[in-house]
Amino acid sequence: MKTDENIPNLRHLRMFMSTCELGSINAAAGAMHVAQPAITQAISKLEARFGSPLLSRHREGSLPTPAGRILHGRCDRFFRQMHAAIMLAPERIHAPGSQQAATLAGRLTVSQISALIGVANHGSLWLAAHNEGVSVSAMHRAAKEIENNLGYAVFSKARNRLNVNHSGAELARRLQIALREIAVAEEEIRSLSGQPDGKILIGTLPMIRSALLGLTINRTLAQAPGLRFEVLEGVYASMLRALRNGEIDMLIGALRQPSPANDVTERLLFTDPYAIIARKGHPLAGTEASAAELLQYEWVVQKQGTPVRAALEAIFAGTGLSPHVAVETSSMSLTRSILLDSDRLAILSRRQITIEERAGLLTALPLSIASTGRRIGLTTRQDWQPAGSHLIFLENFHSVLIENVGALEE
C-alpha cells in the first residue's frame, strides 16, 4: 500500500479537531471559513475510514464519542509534533515560530509529506516514486510543492539525484513519528470492541535473553489474541535509529552510558553479570585462570565501544597486554557455535547460556570479573504515549522479568 493511502486527509482531520474543540459543526465551519456541508462530509469520510462514529449530535452541538476522544487526543499529538518538526529547520537562519509553523503545516498535503518521507527512506526521488507506485513527475511535483509551502529547502541535488538534505532528513524523521499517532489511533479505536487490537513494534539487541521476550509475547497473545508483534533485531546503532524514526516503539537490550541520543528515555530493568564462557571440557574449565593464561586463547567478542568489549579490556587493564580477538560479532548464535567447536573464549552473561549450561555444552569459568555486567533496560522515545496494547505487553514483560530474573532495579 502506498504511504499516502495510510494517511487520512489532513484537512479532514483539522475539521474534525475544530468541531471537537468548538462544540459544533456550524462553529467549526465558521472558524475554518467553509460551508457546513463540507465539515459534515469530511467527518463522514473519517468515520468510514476509522469504522466508528466519531461525533454524537445533540441539540446543543456535537460531542466526540469514545472513538472521537481517542482520535482527538492522537490528532492533537500528531499536529503538535508536526508543528514542532517544522519549527526545527537546521538550515534556516530564522526558524519559524509556533504560529508560523502552524500556518506552514496547514499548507502541507498528504502527497507532499509522502514524497518527503519516501525520498528520505529510499535515498532518491526515483526510487521513492518506484516504491510508492507513483510517477516520477508526480513525486517531483509534490517534492517541489512541499519546499514552496515550507519556504526552505528540504532536498538537495547531487549527480542528477534528488535526495533530502539535513533539514529534510530531520523533518521526515519527525513526521514519521507523528504519523505513528494516527496508526495507533486506528488500533485503539478498533480495541473499543473489547478485544485489544494493534501491532506492537519491538526492537531487540542481539545478545538479549530472547527467552524472556518469547515468554512475554506468548503470555500477551494468550491474554489478547488480536494483537500482532513485529520484532526487529540489530546492532545498537541501527535499532536506536529505528526507534528515533518511529519504526519501532521500544528497544529492549543493553543500555549505553551515557545515552547517545537526548530524545530517548532509558529505564534500567536489571543488571546481568558477565562471565567468561568456554566449551565444556575446555582446558581452563573449572580453573581460576590468570590473565596470562587467558591471553593464550583467542576471543570472540563484540566490536569496540560496546559494554562487553569494555569488560574484556578491563580484565587485562594494567598488564600492558591485549587479548587476541579473533572474531568480532554481535550474533549470539555465531558466538555459541564458535565456542562449541574450539577453545576460544567469550564474555557473556551467565543467563545467556542457561540452556547450553544445562545441556553440558558450555560452562562459565569460576573467575570473577570486575565489571558490573550488562545493564539491561527498556528504551523509548521521550514523547511516546503507549496505547492500551503496549501497556498489556509491558505489564506482562514486568511479570516475566520478576519471575525469571528477580527484583528489578529502580
Q: Per residue in 113-130, pLDDT tens?
A: 999 999 999 989 999 998
CB 380 within 8 A of CB 371: no
pLDDT of residue 371: 66
pLDDT, average across residues 259-272: 87
pLDDT of residue 46: 96
pLDDT, average across residues 85-91: 70
pLDDT of residue 1: 40
pLDDT of residue 150: 87
Percent of the chain with pLDDT over 70: 94
pLDDT of residue 388: 93
Nearest to 377, CA basis, from 264, 285, 275: 264
pLDDT of residue 253: 87
CA distance 243 to 251: 7
pLDDT, average across residues 29-44: 95
Give the residue with greater pLDDT, 370 vs 3. 370
End-to-end, the C-alpha distance of the chain in Å comes to 43
Answer yes or no: is pLDDT of 254 > 50.
Answer: yes
Place of cell 541535488: 157
pLDDT, average across residues 186-204: 93
pLDDT, average across residues 41-67: 93
Q: At what angle do helices 166-190 and 36-50 cross, to 10 degrees?
A: 70
pLDDT, average across residues 78-98: 75
Answer yes or no: is pLDDT of 187 > 80.
Answer: yes
CA distance 406 to 312: 26
Place of cell 565444556: 280
CB 324 within 8 A of CB 298: yes
Answer yes or no: is pLDDT of 4 > 60.
Answer: no
Mean of pLDDT over the chain: 89
pLDDT of residue 90: 53
Answer yes or no: is pLDDT of 236 > 80.
Answer: yes
pLDDT of residue 311: 87
pLDDT of residue 5: 58
CA distance 341 to 279: 8
Most confident region among 18-32, 104-118, 318-332 by mean pLDDT: 18-32
Nearest to 327, CA basis, from 310, 307, 309: 309
pLDDT of residue 221: 97
pLDDT, average across residues 251-263: 84
pLDDT, average across residues 161-188: 92
Percent of the chain with pLDDT over 90: 58
pLDDT of residue 95: 62
CA distance 35 to 95: 34
Confidence of residue 331 (pLDDT cuts 50, 70, 90): confident
Answer yes or no: is pLDDT of 345 > 50.
Answer: yes
Answer yes or no: is pLDDT of 88 > 80.
Answer: no
Place of cell 542481539: 206
E-strand ranges in 190-303 read 198-204, 227-233, 250-254, 264-272, 274-279, 298-301
Cell representation of residue 43: 467527518
Can you name the residues that pair with 155 across neighbouring β-strands? 164
Express each pLDDT in 371-407 by its tens digit.
667 788 999 999 899 999 999 999 999 999 898 876 5
Q: How are beta strands 345-349 and 298-301 bridged, if at all?
A: parallel
pLDDT, average across residues 283-303: 93
pLDDT of residue 202: 96
The reported pTM is 0.80
Give the residue with greater pLDDT, 294 vs 370. 294
